[in-house]
């Protein structure tokens, strides 16, 4: 064997520019460990959060309800390209549906008589979600014939129809007084706090709101995973084909009308699930504009635009932004400069929140039309580049 051959055998195979380097493999392991640690930390924080939120637990519950409903609107607008301004109507169907299905057969609030079906709470919640989906399915003949702003205006009319029905529904909706929301329970597990029963976690008592946090967290995680699986599969590809080129999608064999109906069905069911969580969080529902009216419709639209139209994580971030900002302005209206308490003359927290939402939408549309989700993607890609990952 020649000297050159011996040198090659000793040195081993040459490493090309594309061959994995030990340093690069170490960076990849470090990045994977960092992601695992971040995931474990996030899970741990979510599990112990209700123990330390204090008076903010109500805001957290409203945020989870808004995030679930916003996921449905993100699916409809961002994935299917169907503009809807009536999302609050389907949220109301879910909330009132649960109160009716789980409510007592006969009850009275003042002079108002109310009726219900007295079904088990879990069954009542499932039926309320299905009822909201049925309402969305009944709207699909209109959605199949309209597009763009015309569909948005037609769906916007659902909000006014819904408020009128809620105010004049008599014993079913409770009229202007509203309805009491029955406590949720699964078998022997109750999500209220009986006087003779106290549950502890890490030495701290769990009240009804803390228990509802875990319920809302489970529903939110399930809704998020369901969204991701749907858009990554064949239905998601078909919805995006309808969104981008409806005519070409039809030529390629995609049943456009069927997938539009499918999008409204799933979106309305998400809204119904958010409505059930909303009803459980506040305990008493009524025809409030901030919950089921124009203000609520605008809030849901702001959530998906600011968070990212076609991103499930963006929809959740949008829900946190909208509900969190409203709660902060309400809580600190007395100490924030330029704000006046609700009910007094001046710039109230509701008005300030409306200005903030409008400014956020303008900034997003001008500088990052894909919302906060795109900013997160850029940061993630920059981190991967710094770690040497492709």
What does the pLDDT read at residue 47? Answer: 78
**More confident call, 70 vs 200:** 70
Q: What does the alpha-carbon distance between residue 111 and residue 215 come to, in Å, rounded to a whole number?
A: 34
| pLDDT value at 10 more than 60 | no
The residue among 389, 326, 385 whose CA lies nearest residue 353 is: 326
With a CB cutoff of 8 Å and minimum separation 6, the contacts of 225 are none
Q: What does the alpha-carbon distance between residue 272 and residue 133 come to, in Å, rounded to a whole number?
A: 7
What does the pLDDT read at residue 21? Answer: 57
Task: Output the CA–CA distances (angstroms, integers) from residue 184 to 77, 197, 241, 250, 367, in the order listed.
Answer: 31, 16, 40, 44, 43
**More confident call, 3 vs 323:** 323
Handedness of CA 374, 376, 379, 383 (dihedral sign): negative
Instruction: For residue 142, name the pLDDT band (cuts at 50, 70, 90).
Output: confident
Instruction: For residue 90, name the pLDDT band (cuts at 50, 70, 90).
Output: very high
Mean pLDDT of 301-311: 90
Q: Encode burial over 121-151: b for 16+ CB neighbours within 10 A, e otherwise.
A: beebbbbbbbbbbbbbbebbeebbeeeeeeb
Q: What is the pLDDT of residues 187-246, one digit of tens each?
A: 777 877 654 556 666 666 677 888 899 999 999 999 999 999 999 999 899 999 988 888
Which position has the token pair 């710094």? 386
| pLDDT value at 328 more than 80 | yes
E strand or H helix at 108, and its extent?
A: strand 106-109
Q: What share of the chain is helix, strand, coil (3-state, %, to 5)?
A: 70, 5, 25
Q: State pTM to two decimals.
A: 0.86
Instruction: Give the best-scoring range by mean pLDDT among 6-15, 23-32, 261-270.
Output: 261-270
First to last CA, the chain: 41
**More confident call, 385 vs 194:** 385
Instruction: Give the best-scoring range by mean pLDDT among 100-114, 140-154, 260-274.
Output: 260-274
Handedness of CA 206, 208, 211, 217 (dihedral sign): negative
Instruction: Give the best-scoring range by mean pLDDT among 3-7, 211-215, 328-332.
Output: 211-215
The pLDDT mean for the chain works out to: 84
The number of beta carbons lying within 10 Å of the beta carbon of residue 378 is: 12
* β pairing state of 179-180 and 284-285: antiparallel
Return the SS3 of 206: strand
């Amino acid at each position: 064997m020649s000297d050159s051959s011996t040198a090659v055998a000793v040195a081993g195979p040459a490493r090309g520019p594309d061959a994995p380097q030990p340093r690069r493999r170490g960076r990849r392991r470090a990045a994977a460990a960092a992601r695992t640690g971040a995931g474990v930390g996030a899970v741990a924080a979510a599990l112990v959060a209700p123990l330390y939120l204090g008076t903010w637990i109500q805001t957290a519950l409203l945020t989870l309800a808004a995030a679930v409903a916003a996921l449905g609107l993100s699916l409809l607008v961002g994935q299917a390209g169907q503009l809807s301004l009536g999302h609050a109507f389907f949220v109301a169907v879910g909330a009132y549906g649960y109160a009716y299905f789980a409510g007592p057969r006969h009850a009275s609030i003042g002079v108002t008589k109310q009726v219900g079906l007295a079904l088990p709470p879990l069954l009542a919640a499932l039926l309320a979600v299905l009822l909201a989906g049925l309402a969305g399915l009944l709207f699909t003949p209109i959605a199949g014939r309209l597009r763009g702003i015309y569909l948005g205006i037609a769906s916007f009319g659902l909000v006014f129809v819904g408020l009128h029905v809620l105010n004049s529904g008599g014993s079913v909706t409770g009229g202007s007084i509203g309805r009491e929301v029955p406590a949720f329970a699964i078998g022997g597990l109750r999500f209220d706090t009986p006087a003779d029963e106290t549950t502890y976690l890490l030495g701290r008592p769990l009240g009804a709101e803390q228990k509802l946090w875990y319920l809302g967290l489970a529903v939110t995680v399930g809704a998020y995973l369901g969204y991701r699986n749907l858009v990554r599969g064949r239905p998601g590809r078909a919805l995006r084909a309808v969104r981008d080129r409806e005519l070409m999608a039809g030529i390629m064999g995609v049943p456009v009308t069927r997938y539009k109906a499918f999008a409204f069905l799933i979106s309305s069911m998400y809204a119904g699930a958010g409505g059930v969580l909303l009803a459980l969080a506040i305990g008493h529902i009524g025809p409030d504009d901030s919950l089921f009216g124009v203000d609520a419709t605008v809030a849901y639209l702001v959530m998906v635009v600011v968070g990212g139209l076609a991103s499930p994580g963006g929809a959740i971030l949008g829900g946190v932004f909208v509900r969190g900002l409203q709660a902060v302005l309400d809580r600190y209206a007395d100490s924030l400069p330029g704000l006046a308490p609700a009910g007094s003359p001046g710039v109230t927290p509701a008005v300030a929140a409306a200005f903030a939402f409008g400014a956020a939408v303008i900034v997003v549309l001008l500088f990052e039309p894909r919302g906060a989700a795109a900013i997160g993607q850029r940061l993630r890609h920059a981190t991967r580049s710094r770690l040497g990952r492709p």
